[in-house]
Structure formats: structure tokens, C-alpha cells
A and B are shown apart, each in its own frame.
Chain A
Amino acid sequence: MKMLRDVGLLYRRGLIHTLRIPVWVVVGISTPLLYLALFTPLLQNLAGAPGFPPTDVLDLFLPGILALMAFGSGTGAGFAIIFEIQAGFTERLQVSPASRFALLMGPVLSSLTWTYIFTIMIVAVAIPFGFHLHLAGMLVSLVLLGLLLMVFASFSIALALITKEISSLAAIMNGINLPVLLLSGVLLPLSLAPTWMRAIAHMNPMYYVVEANRILATGTIYDAKVGEAFLIMVPLTVVVMAWATRVYRRAVS
């Protein structure tokens, strides 16, 4: 089928292009490592404070870092598209009979692949430092992280197509970044937060992924919070991807 072939062609192109800018690979892996090295020690001293969940610090913190990585790769996906728009590449694809869904899915899947590779590397690094790996839980976690990435990558790419220039996209993405991060409990669990803040956090898709990830990291899979995360993320992914495909389809002016 033409659409699947187009997805494959653009997916392969995306993978190769990332390799051709090795800086991205370096940053992709060093950022989470820095969090682990420079943030975890602070948490060690907080453990045992009131409201802090009674688990090992890394078991609590790593699931958040993994969500952060997926979120970061997702929001970053639009920036490459801006350069492609400016080089006329996007228009060249739009004037071709290539499937519009493939135009979106190619870069999204290649970003997903790289993020999975980094994720597995980070988890492997964290194990000797005290992270307890529960394989089944981690696999379910990876699915949720994938959905999270697809939502934000599609969103970011659609915004790139609409704004067409880097400063607007950067401003919007920065504006979204901070509230999404602070209201997701990535760095510190929201069990420490006042009730009103937890109430707002329920508007944030990332919050559900982080919460579910923490549970999955303990090895528990059949949990209401995990179910809730899927119930929210699956339809959200479908809606955002459908919208982004439409933005590709609607000819740019």
C-alpha cells in the first residue's frame, strides 16, 4: 500500500538525518544523564519527608525523567520542519502524491525510534545506581511514552506548519513547556502539592503518563491509574494526529 511505503521512506530518511547531525544524538543522551547525575542527589536528602512516597529515590525519579525525554523530543520535532519549510522541502512533498499522513508519520516515528534508543540506554545506566527494573511494567511504560511523544511531536509539527518560522514556534513551545512540566510531577511528585494544584494537573496529559509510569516502575500493571492514562492518551493521540494530518493536507498559503 502506497501510504505504508511512503511512511517507510520518510521514516528511514528521518533516522538517517538524525545520524548526520551527531550533536542531536549527544544532547539527546546527555540531558537525561545530567538530570540523573545532578538532580537525584538532591532527592536523596528529601526522601522520608512528609508526603514523599516511600520508594527508592531513583524508582520515583527515573519514570519522570523518561516522560521528560519523550516530551522533549516531541516538542522539538517541529523545529526540523521549520528548516524544511524554508528549504522548500515541505512544499515539494505537498506537491507530490505522497500520503499526507506519511508526511507527518515519517518524522514522528523516527523521533520515536531515537527516543526509545536513548530511553533504553538511560534505564541501563540507572540500574547499577539502584533503579529496580520490572520488565513487563517497563514495556507498558514504553507504550505510554510513545503516545506522549506522538501527541507532542504531532502538535509541534502542526504548529511549525502554521507558524512557518522559528521564533513564533519557539515562543509557543517555551510557553507550553513550563506549565506542562511543573504540573506533571516530573521532578517532584505532585503528592507533595496542594489540592488546587493537583486539580489543575488533571488537565495535563503528561501528568497521567508520569503517574502511571511511577506505578509501572514498581512492577504493578493492572492499576486504575495505568488504565486512566491509556484512556486519556489513546484518544488524544488519535485526535492530535488527525488534526496535524489535516494541517498537512490543507495547502499552505
Chain B
Amino acid sequence: MKNVVTTTELRKSFKSKKGVVEAVRGVELHVGEGEIFGFLGPNGAGKTTTLRMLATLLPIESGEAMVAGFDVKKQPHEVRRRVGYVSQAGGGDRLSTGREDLILQGQLYGMSTTDANARADELIDDLDLGEFAGRRVVTYSGGQRRRLDVGLGIMHRPDVLFLDEPTTGLDPQNRANLWELIRQLSGSGTSIFLTTHYLDEADVLSNRLAIMDHGLIVAEGTSRELKQEIAADSVVVSLKSDEGCSGATELLRQESYVSHITTEADHLRLYVDDGVAALPKLLRLLDGNGIGVRTITLSEPTLDDVFLRHTGRSLHKAGMNQRNGDSE
């Protein structure tokens, strides 16, 4: 498969009052043609910074990046013509109507006015914008605005579409609609590179994904591969009394079928080779030592488990401990 995005040793740091912040610290990744590539990580992980470098918005500090067949550092202009970029803010022109905005976008990408008009009509049909395309963008709902943003991003039929946190702030219905739309785009041959901090989005939507934390890629592969790498089921045990936690951890650590244990607030998370076989043994052991169990749940590994395994933190918690906001 041909790659539409390839990076080697990509780096970027910013100067701040506290000193130099290394936002991206040597990112290596590739996105295949026609793929939906998910870039998962907490806020502040460096996802947006990476994306902005690939989209020619930020100068690359060091390393190489090829996008749509061109070197981002040497031929940004060629890259721009072949890439669509939808930022978190969107980019719709508030005082224009959706239709006017699509046409302007096409014209700025070099389409003739006739072509831009025809393409705008096509997109208004395809993306179901008809109901509001004649109204000013400033009046749109969140979901309507997102649909237009995507339309603007693909107006010039780019080879690669970058979507930065496309579903943040959308309600479940609009989120599902957008996922459907992204799948359609991918089906029609556009390669898609999206960032997200939602586990389910990365899991369900992307063909392949990379997990990023603190400016580095900690894991890359298909969702299934990454989960298989863990090669374990996870068991979450919550105890009747918090004091039992440390005792239980000590006890369970000695069991040969427990491969990994973490303690979180009032519960334990264990990774075991075979969950079904381990469950009765666990219960017997804890009960025999007088440790009361409130609940016990067995689950197949999730991407959060993958994240936890590679970073030592849960993605939900990681997001909260990072710098505020989405500006990475």
C-alpha cells in the first residue's frame, strides 16, 4: 500500500515562560492510502501540533515529513493543494452563507467559478447541507457547522483530509452522522488522518491508529493488534473496605496467572491470561483471606488498557492532568 503521510523523527518545541516545552519529540508514523488513521491521546499530548506541522501551518523544527508525495519542508505549496484541513475551530466564514463559503474555498484552490459552483452543489447534496446552505454560517447549529467544515475541507478533492478533533462538542446523534460521513469519504478514496481523545472513536472509526503521549508515539497498529499485544483480559475488583486494597495487591501479586496489577482509588485492576479460569480462583483466594469483594468485572482489553499499559495512566485521568484547553 502506498503511504500518503510519512514522518521521520518529527520534532517541535515551543518557548514558554517556564522554559522550552517539547511538544513533539520524534514522531514516526505513516498513513496508508485510503486509510482512516486515528491519532489518539490526551489533550496536550502533541497531536494537534503534529497535525499542524503536516498541514503546513507550523514550521517543522527537525525531522522529515512527506505528505501526498511532497516534502512538507521543501514544497509546502504543493502539499497545500493536495491536503484538506479542518481545525478544531472549524473555519466557516461567519458572515457568508454556506454555499458562498464553499464557492470561495473552491476558487481559492484554483477552481474556475463554474467548477466551484458545480462542486458546491454536489457537496450540498452529498453532505445534506441543502436545508441551511443558503443561510449565514453564524446561524448554524454545532452539527450543521461541522458538516460545512468537512465540506470546506474536501471542496478541492484533496488526497488527504486532516480532521482535528472532529467530533468534540457534538451530541451523540451528530457524532454518529459525522462518523458515517467520514466512512463514506474514506470509501470514496480520500485518506483521512484524524485526531481524537475519544477511545471509542479511535477504536470504531479508524482502520489503524497511533497512541500519543507527551509528544511521543507509544503504540501504533490496528485496534485489534494493539489489544492483542496486551494478550490479557482485565479484571476490575472493588473491595468492601479501602484498607483491604494494599493487602489484596500483595496477595494477588504472588499468583502466577496475574500478569500485571494496578491500584486505582478504591479498586484494583488485574491483567490475567484467561479471565474465565481466573475469576473463581480470585474469588476463593480473596474470600479465604477475609477480604470482602463488592463487585468484580471481567472485560476484554480496551484501548484504555492499551494506553494504561504503555503510559502507566488511564486516558481519562491523563486528560485531566494535562495543560488546560485543546491548544497543544
Q: For A84, A94, A96, which residue has the most chain B Cβ atoms within 10 angstroms?
A: A96
A46 within 8 A of partner (CB): no
Report how far A20 CA is from B137 CA in the complex, Å. 13
Say yes or no: B58 contacts A13, CB within 8 Å: no
Encode contact with A along B39-57: 1 for CB under 8 Å, 0 otherwise: 0000000000000100111
Say yes or no: B85 contacts A17, CB within 8 Å: no
Say yes or no: B108 contacts A91, CB within 8 Å: no
A250 to chain B: which residues have CB within 8 Å? 59
| Nearest A-chain residue to B77, judged by Cβ | A97
| Nearest B-chain residue to A252, judged by Cβ | B57
What distance in Å separates the Cβ of A211 from its nearest Cβ neighbour in chain B?
Answer: 38
Report how far A60 CA is from B156 CA in the complex, Å. 54
Q: Given the interface contacts A2-B110, A13-B96, does A92 sit within 8 Å of B91 by beta carbon?
A: yes
Q: Which among B58, B77, B108 is the interface contact of A93 at CB below 8 angstroms?
A: B108
Q: Which among A13, A20, A84, A252 is the interface contact of B104 at CB below 8 angstroms?
A: A13
User: 8 Å CB contacts to B: which residues of A114-161?
Assistant: none
B223 to chain A: which residues have CB within 8 Å? none
Encode contact with B along A83-112: 1 for CB under 8 Å, 0 otherwise: 110111101111111100000000000000
Say yes or no: A21 contacts B95, CB within 8 Å: yes
B105 within 8 A of partner (CB): yes
Further 8 A-B residue pairs, CB within 8 A, beyond A91-B85, A97-B80, A253-B14: A9-B104, A9-B107, A17-B96, A20-B95, A87-B89, A91-B87, A251-B56, A253-B58
Q: Which 3 A-B pairs have the closest CB atoms?
A: A88-B89, A92-B91, A88-B91
Cβ contacts A to B, 11 pairs, < 8 Å:
A5-B107, A13-B93, A16-B95, A87-B89, A91-B57, A93-B108, A94-B57, A95-B83, A96-B105, A97-B80, A97-B81
Which A residues have a C-beta under 8 Å from some C-beta of B? 2, 5-6, 9, 13, 16-17, 20-21, 83-84, 86-89, 91-98, 250-253
